Structure 1
Amino acid sequence: MSLPFKTLIKIERGNHLPMYVQIANELIKLIRGGKLTPGAFLPGTREMADLLAIHRKTIINAYEDLSVQGWIESLPRKGYRVVSDLPVIKPRSFQPKNNYPATSISPEELLHLPAFTRPGMVNDYQPGALIVDDGFPDINLTPYDFFLQQYRQQLNSGILYTLNFQKEEGGLLSLRTATSSFLNQTRGLNITHEQVAITRGAQMAIYLAAALLIKPGDRIIVSEPSYFMANQIFQQLGAVIHRVPVDEEGMDTNALEELLKTGTFKLIYVIPHHHHPTTVTMSTARRIQLLTLIKEYQLWAIEDDYDYDFHYRNSPILPLASADHDGRILYIGSYTKLLGPSFRIGYLVAGVQIIEQAIRYRRLMDIRGDFMMESALAALIDNGELSRHINRSKKIYAARLDKTTELLTSSNIPVSFHKPQGGMALWLRFDPQYPLANLLTNASANNLHLYGTAYFEGYNTNYNSLRFGFASLQEQQMEQAVSILAASLKKK
């Protein structure tokens, strides 16, 4: 029995969105809501055009858009049907949903970070230079047209005058609300805008969370290796850092438990989904053990949810923050990894009192964010364009991951790596007889700039390892990069 599409599909002819996009959005809602089930056929393009009283070309464009996003598929001589493996990720939960009880916390003073340099870094690039980054998105896929449209509307409507007098230091209410809805739908959180603070990227969110929790002399725990810029923050705040090793299942929670038995610790910093720098995903068993230890030892935890939306092999495990944790997990994420490095917008999720303190502390360094960008981003989320962008990008990045691993494997480069479940980078471990410092310098001389996080030696380990971003390079560029990489390897 056919659905009453004429009634179910709402089209606003005065809407700024093209009609085919509105139709595609309405059909996605029907699929998400279960009215259109996997395997169900849609009316033919002529029939649907007649039902909605619009041009057939509009329906064709809507169906093609849905097909590109992976919601429907075209069967020769049969028509369009909803795919059985929907692009909607249904994460696997391992704990009940969270809550964030009120917690009293006071901010600390702002501190400074030291400068950072490394072998092979240059300021001026030669024509045709190739840059392999730390794992950033391809800005060619970013929906810039949508942002330009939103900016133009803001400039023409006079809303900028209103925004000038906004005092929403924790971010525009529209973006805080859109972010809470986005996280509830995709991460299994159970939050409102009051538990969200908007920041200028995840880096600011890490700093705010750490500054609120750490006092000089506090003992904290990080993985080894770990995100080095977070470690610099902890050191500058006066923390005493203890390290727990990482293997193919993420942080070793048995080693963590043994460490916790040795004394009192204030905080643990974890990157469970796509660990930085190693890209490994923490197993479900270890996540459960980690949650148990957080409760048992009354630890604060900063969960850096790195690259959550780009998971390729299977459904991602929900964040630790989606579990019952008595409000002791501060959750951090970023839109930068979805849209590009120029979109410096992140978020911090925590209990209301912590968020209030974080906003006051942020005010010391940045009174408010970029309201024009925040307003445009809120619209991007609300109308479904961000979800469309994620679905499109995920297909492309998965193919680029496959191609990059294929190139590295067939090149006979003396390097080892595991193929990650998601993210936008590989963790390459080079044979010690090929020093990484030499490789970076040689590659730069050959017009290949390897700007992924590099680990040389430390803590009784010769890492000789590098993050190798694959998402931002097209196939031909990656072929060239791997070729130069192979030519740049020289023994001691």
Structure 2
Amino acid sequence: MLPFSTLLPINKASAMPVYQQIANGLIGLIRDGVIKPGASLPGSREMAQLLQVHRKTIVAAYQELFTQDWITTIPRKGVIVSERLPEIKPRTFKAAAKIPAYAGNTGFTFNKIGSYPGAPARPGEHRLIINDGFPDYRIGPVDLLIREYRSLFHSPAVKHYAAYGGMAGPLSLRNELTQFLTETRGLNIGPQNVLLTHGAQMAIYIAARLILQPGATVLVGEPNYFMADMIFQQFGAKLVRIPLDENGIDVDAIARICRQKKPALLYIIPHHHHPTTVTLSADRRMKLLELIRRYRLPVIEDDYDYDFHYSGGPILPLASADHEGNVIYIGSLAKSLATFVRVGYMIAPEHFINEAALMRRMIDIRSDNLLEEALAVLFRNGDMQRHLKKSVKLYHDRRNHFCNLLEQELKGIVQFQQPAGGMAVWAQFHKKHPLPAISARAAAKGLLISNGSAYSYGTVNHNALRMGFASLNEKEQQEAIAILKTVV
């Protein structure tokens, strides 16, 4: 019901009778389209209570409206706004009414984010999707997670979980992550060094917000994870793009820049770089750590899929070495479970985590306490570790199958290097086959694939994209590559 007590103000000091004020107010609401033809009005008794007037006043107001053909009465339905209004014909009612408040633009200016490259299509529009490199939610321990979630929901402690909780996230999951990251990545940390976030993206945003000032210089790879680029640029930073090759980012180029003027931040993905999938070599890693210590260089190390490595052992992250507190380490559990389980984490010195936790609460006042407590149980009983071991083997097989398909079916069209880990292949298409055209033709055949715009800026056009293989089984991979073959 509309808030008639607010919409129909009454001035008892006015020379106009109260019933006439009510009648005129209702006519105005009908003319403005707030009350539509055919809508029901409250009965006289109810309207009198809402407006705090005598019922006879409402009866008189309704009689005035009835006389002018604004309303009619229908047995058992009550007072109804006329379908055929006295001053506005039904066919022109909408045109004559005011534009709804939210139908147009704002009446003020605001900061614009800009366009999102390669915006995804609506769900359900495509039968097959080659994504950016997502896990297969069908194999994740989601049922186990739901089991623990349900158990916690029905436990006496649920009242505690429903409260705000610690600003850095539940201590139980931070404890489990501390042990897991120590064992798998060699990090020397405690739970006070861990902040839980809604995905790694939020962690990047918070860290950058705390570090950057407008006009700051940020070093990034060329190419780079485009969402990180957007964050830095929104904070007014200037991006300096550093070349990459098969051994990762050019550390000598970073050194030359640092000798001239210390940058405000280095954003780096040393393990399975996004988008190219290359891994920073051991010698460059040692050189970079020396630069970080010498120049006290702030670093965001994005290690979004460290757990998925297929060729030999993974190289330990920068955060595991002696960096003197200058590396903010960021990771995600979404890659281990499913993209819709949004849990990421930030690892940093305690005083930085304290500030980051305050900022997190400003933009996300309450953690997903119950979900995160359920995740802690999966780590504690070993379910997550067992799932990771099985999924690494499965994704290894899927990588091999996908790369074989690319080599056999798209040879001469797609250039790529088989990645040592991760969930995607960095595929560069021959310039004769522009990705926007391929993407459009594939979409018409039921395959959603990026148009490559995320890695095209200024005069740079890599005509390349990340082709995720982990979320597709072998049959789906064959169907997807067959479609690509037909459209190129």
The answer as to 2:281 corresponding to 1:283 is yes
Task: Tell me what 2:222 maps to.
Answer: 224
Task: Tell me what 1:434 maps to.
Answer: 433
1:448 counterpart letter in structure 2: L
Question: Mean Cα displacement is larger for which, 451-460 or 343-352?
Answer: 451-460
Task: Tell me what 2:375 maps to.
Answer: 377
Question: Mean Cα displacement is larger for which, 468-477 or 263-272?
Answer: 263-272
2:433 counterpart letter in structure 1: Y
Does structure 2 conserve the Cα–Cα contact (< 8 Å) formed by 1:211 and 1:237? Answer: yes
Task: Tell me what 1:181 maps to.
Answer: 179
TM-score scaled to structure 1, two decimals?
Answer: 0.74
**Structure 1 residues 334-345: aligned runs within 5 Å:** 334-345=332-343
Task: Tell me what 2:418 maps to.
Answer: 419
Task: Tell me what 1:84 maps to.
Answer: none
Tell me by how many angstroms 1:161 deviates.
1.2
**Counterpart secondary structure, 1:299:** coil
CA-to-aligned-CA distance 1:258-303 (integer Å, 9 cap, x gap): 2223323111000000100000111001111111111222210000
Query: Following the alignment from structure 2 to structure 1, what is the Cα–Cα distance between the partners of residues 355 and 190?
Result: 17
Percent of residue pairs identical: 43
**Counterpart secondary structure, 1:307:** coil
Query: Following the alignment from structure 1 to structure 2, what is the Cα–Cα distance between the partners of residues 353 and 412?
Result: 51
Task: Tell me what 1:116 maps to.
Answer: 116
**Counterpart secondary structure, 2:335:** helix
Does structure 2 conserve the Cα–Cα contact (< 8 Å) formed by 1:425 and 1:470? Answer: yes
CA-to-aligned-CA distance 1:187-212 (integer Å, 9 cap, x gap): 00010000000000000000011011
Task: Tell me what 2:353 maps to.
Answer: 355
The answer as to 2:207 corresponding to 1:198 is no
Tell me by how many angstroms 1:456 deviates.
5.2
Query: Following the alignment from structure 1 to structure 2, what is the Cα–Cα distance between the partners of residues 410 and 398?
Result: 19
CA shift in 2, pair 1:124/1:149, >3 Å: closer
Tell me by how many angstroms 1:426 deviates.
0.2
Task: Tell me what 2:139 maps to.
Answer: 141
Task: Tell me what 1:267 maps to.
Answer: 265
Q: CA RMSD in A?
A: 1.6
Tell me by how many angstroms 1:124 deviates.
5.1
**Counterpart secondary structure, 1:208:** helix
CA shift in 2, pair 1:447/1:359, >3 Å: same
Tell me by how many angstroms 1:383 deviates.
1.0
Query: Following the alignment from structure 1 to structure 2, what is the Cα–Cα distance between the partners of residues 487 and 440?
Result: 12
Query: Following the alignment from structure 2 to structure 1, what is the Cα–Cα distance between the partners of residues 218 and 198?
Result: 25
CA shift in 2, pair 1:165/1:462, >3 Å: closer
Does structure 2 conserve the Cα–Cα contact (< 8 Å) formed by 1:311 and 1:421? Answer: yes
Task: Tell me what 1:448 maps to.
Answer: 447
Tell me by how many angstroms 1:454 deviates.
4.7
Which of these residues, 129, 132, 136, is aligned with residue 130 of structure 2? 132
Does structure 2 conserve the Cα–Cα contact (< 8 Å) formed by 1:452 and 1:469? Answer: no
Tell me by how many angstroms 1:256 deviates.
1.7
Query: Following the alignment from structure 1 to structure 2, what is the Cα–Cα distance between the partners of residues 374 and 456?
Result: 34
Query: Following the alignment from structure 2 to structure 1, what is the Cα–Cα distance between the partners of residues 143 and 484?
Result: 35
Tell me by how many angstroms 1:165 deviates.
2.7
Query: Following the alignment from structure 1 to structure 2, what is the Cα–Cα distance between the partners of residues 133 and 262?
Result: 40
Tell me by how many angstroms 1:112 deviates.
7.3
Does structure 2 conserve the Cα–Cα contact (< 8 Å) formed by 1:432 and 1:462? Answer: no
Aligned length: 377
Does structure 2 conserve the Cα–Cα contact (< 8 Å) formed by 1:454 and 1:467? Answer: no
Tell me by how many angstroms 1:451 deviates.
4.1
**Counterpart secondary structure, 2:325:** coil
Query: Following the alignment from structure 1 to structure 2, what is the Cα–Cα distance between the partners of residues 144 and 150?
Result: 10
Does structure 2 conserve the Cα–Cα contact (< 8 Å) formed by 1:245 and 1:251? Answer: yes
TM-score scaled to structure 2, two decimals?
Answer: 0.75
CA shift in 2, pair 1:352/1:251, >3 Å: same
**Structure 1 residues 61-140: aligned runs within 5 Å:** 113-118=113-118, 121-123=120-122, 125-126=124-125, 129-140=127-138
Task: Tell me what 1:158 maps to.
Answer: 156
CA shift in 2, pair 1:453/1:273, >3 Å: farther
Query: Following the alignment from structure 1 to structure 2, what is the Cα–Cα distance between the partners of residues 456 and 229?
Result: 11
Does structure 2 conserve the Cα–Cα contact (< 8 Å) formed by 1:244 and 1:255? Answer: yes
Does structure 1 conserve the Cα–Cα contact (< 8 Å) formed by 2:439 and 2:451? Answer: no
Does structure 2 conserve the Cα–Cα contact (< 8 Å) formed by 1:187 and 1:318? Answer: yes
2:224 counterpart letter in structure 1: S
Task: Tell me what 1:476 maps to.
Answer: 475
CA shift in 2, pair 1:122/1:377, >3 Å: same
**Counterpart secondary structure, 2:427:** strand
**Counterpart secondary structure, 2:306:** coil
Task: Tell me what 2:398 maps to.
Answer: 400
1:470 counterpart letter in structure 2: F
Task: Tell me what 1:463 maps to.
Answer: 462
Q: Which has the higher contact order (CA 8 A, sep 6+)?
A: 1
CA shift in 2, pair 1:152/1:377, >3 Å: same
